[in-house]
Amino acid sequence: MKFLIDRCAGKVIADWLRAQGHDVVESRERGPDPGDRILLEWAKNESRIVVTIDTDFGQLIFIEKMPHCGLVRLPDIAANQRVRIMADLLSRFSRELQEQAVITVSGGRIRISGTPPAFAEQVEAAERVMREDRDALKKLAE
């Protein structure tokens, strides 16, 4: 798959995706931040899925109806958890991403735009794993 990694998502996730064999461009490689609208246009023109922690892309896609090739939003996922979450999303929802899905992971939940009922069980299973991981991290912190 082809990805455009927003600078706020971090270099670690870009490096991990490259190591998995994906075609990855980081927005930081292209100079100063041009803004979300331009990033989304770049991604669309290059058939790339945007990975970000920024929630403004949702407004561009859902309210302003900007064309896109997919979006992964990780707005409240700690930097040290993003690779694990991304690996889980790719293992469970690659097809949806290839079909231009918008996937948001927030508050221990996964939302996929236009999720067919057949995928509801996969979403529930992924959310269960996230809750278990969060509970395990809390126990370690105690």
Does 45 have pLDDT greater than 60? yes
Question: Residues with Cβ < 8 Å from 73, sequence gap 6 or more?
Answer: 52, 53, 54, 55, 57, 58, 102, 103, 104, 105, 106
Whole-angstrom distance, CA of residue 24 vs CA of residue 10? 12
pLDDT band at 23 (very low <50, low <70, confident <90, very high): very high
Burial 29-49 (b: 16+ CB within 10 A, else e): eeeeeeebeebbbbbbeeebb
Looking at the DSSP bridge assignments, the partners of residue 4 are 25, 50
For residue 118, what pLDDT is reported? 46
Whole-angstrom distance, CA of residue 127 vs CA of residue 89? 11
Does 18 have pLDDT greater than 80? yes
For residue 1, what pLDDT is reported? 96
Q: How many domains does the chain have?
A: 1
Helices 120-141 and 82-98 pack at an angle, to 10 degrees, of 170
> pTM of the predicted model, to two decimals?
0.78
pLDDT tens by residue, 87-138: 999 999 999 988 889 999 988 889 898 544 445 566 677 777 778 888 887 8
Domain extent for 97: 2-141
Q: What is the mean pLDDT of the chain?
A: 87
For residue 117, what pLDDT is reported? 44
Whole-angstrom distance, CA of residue 37 vs CA of residue 133? 34
Q: Tokens for 77, please give them.
A: 């996922």
Pick the range with the lowest mean pLDDT from 14-18, 21-25, 64-68. Answer: 64-68
